[in-house]
Structure 1
């Protein structure tokens, strides 16, 4: 069995710095993390690899060369191969162009199914999984919270999808694109101690436009068809921090806070 996981590295929005005077995000030295939904998708793939030893897991990412250390980190978790699509021509590509670029690589690959996250922290359009599936002419489902592993022995796969007010089971023919949400609770394994310094560079394939063959006007800003109707700046309010001591006065402050919030 071969599983391809699409992975995106995004700014760690839970630990960002914010300039409240200028009302802007401080982007210098921003730490990147694997997009949470993508992490759940990859966690499921590695779970299957643990259960079915002949499973081959490949991760595919479109990003600058600077993310190679992050790919190495994932390879040390028992991923078999990483493919990085990287070219300066692709800078500024919208979801439409990004989908075309990734799909061009995937169209010549063999796989049983493709895993992605449902959403990304830095965009949240959820366009790319469905657009890639459309370009590859295969089926796709989003908001998956559970995959029934016992169904993998068939030519189809059974999944459970979060449909807002309820969950629904679907059976989908292989090959397909399965988009998993972080509500699935699949957890990425830690790197084993013996693999912390493992040299995995020989398992990384870097592809540029020289291999994929797009013309300049098909990619980047020039090839992007998305037209933004309106943008706005979200304002963050600075929260005051209250420090209390472990004494009667501190306990009273905490109790009053919890009571005002309706917790007690």
Structure 2
């Protein structure tokens, strides 16, 4: 079985940099972390390989070359290959252009299962997995909560999907695109001590625009259907905590608070 994990490295909000003229994130020199839900997808793929040792796992990511050390860290978890799609021409690609680029790569390879996260912390549109599935003509399910391991090699996966306030069961034929959620019970292992400095460079390849059957106007800002107007790191205000006692003064405080908020007339 061949599994491809689509992963994205996202900006660390503590090191947030933004190009206000072009309305894009500056990713080249920014500290980036693996998107949490993509980590869940990789963890599940490793579980599959544990039960079915003949499974091969490829990571596919689109981003700057500065994420190469991050990819190498993941390769040391006994993953088979990583492909980095990187080119300055891709800067500014929206979900439409991004999914088109990745789908062009995947369309040239025989893949049994494509895994990724449902959401990313830096965008949260959840468009890309579904768009890739559409480009490839494959079934897609998002918010996948669990996949039954005993159905993996049957060509028909049984899985559970978190649908608002209920869990629904589905069966889907492979190949398919599945987007996992962070609540799924799959956790990335740590790299073994003896593999911390292992050379995995031969398992990493890089692709640029010249490796795709795409034109310059198909990617980046020109190839995008949407435009980002503004991006910012959200800051949360610390709420003031009010403690009251169960006496007349405390009751009056609660009453005044509820009335002030409009809960009481």
Which interval holds the TM-score relative to the shorter structure?
A: 0.7 to 0.9
Deviations along 1:195-218, one digit per CA (max 9) or x if unpaired, are: 000000000010111111321111
> Paired residue for 1:22?
none
Q: For the Cα contact (< 8 Å) 2:139–2:172, is it kept in 1?
A: yes
> Paired residue for 1:117?
117
When normalised by structure 2's length, the TM-score is 0.82
Q: Distance in 2 between matches of 1:45 and 1:28?
A: 28
CA 165–87 in structure 1, closer or farther in 2 if over 3 Å, else same: same
The alpha-carbon deviation at position 31 of structure 1 amounts to 2.7
> Paired residue for 1:236?
235
When normalised by structure 1's length, the TM-score is 0.83
> Paired residue for 2:175?
175
Deviations along 1:130-180, one digit per CA (max 9) or x if unpaired, are: 000000001000000100011112121011000011000000010000100
CA 28–237 in structure 1, closer or farther in 2 if over 3 Å, else same: farther
Q: For the Cα contact (< 8 Å) 2:145–2:181, is it kept in 1?
A: yes
Query: How many residues align structurally?
Result: 238
Query: What are the equivalent positions in structure 2 for 1:236-255 lying under 5 Å apart?
Result: 236-237=235-236, 239=238
Q: Does 1:140 align with 2:133?
A: no
> Paired residue for 1:226?
226
Q: Does 1:5 align with 2:24?
A: no
Q: Distance in 1 between matches of 2:2 and 2:179?
A: 16
> Paired residue for 1:77?
77
**Aligned Cα RMSD in Å?**
2.8
CA 116–237 in structure 1, closer or farther in 2 if over 3 Å, else same: closer
The alpha-carbon deviation at position 11 of structure 1 amounts to 1.7
Deviations along 1:29-75, one digit per CA (max 9) or x if unpaired, are: 75311000000000000111111111100000001111100000000
> Paired residue for 1:129?
129
> Paired residue for 1:64?
64
Q: Distance in 2 between matches of 1:164 and 1:190?
A: 32
Q: Distance in 2 between matches of 1:200 and 1:17?
A: 28
Q: For the Cα contact (< 8 Å) 2:94–2:227, is it kept in 1?
A: no
CA 233–210 in structure 1, closer or farther in 2 if over 3 Å, else same: closer
SS across alignment from 2:179:
strand
Q: For the Cα contact (< 8 Å) 2:28–2:66, is it kept in 1?
A: no
CA 90–17 in structure 1, closer or farther in 2 if over 3 Å, else same: closer
CA 61–237 in structure 1, closer or farther in 2 if over 3 Å, else same: closer
Q: For the Cα contact (< 8 Å) 2:28–2:64, is it kept in 1?
A: no
CA 29–61 in structure 1, closer or farther in 2 if over 3 Å, else same: closer
Unaligned runs of 5+ in 1: 19-24, 242-253
Q: Distance in 1 between matches of 2:115 and 2:140?
A: 10
> Paired residue for 2:253?
none
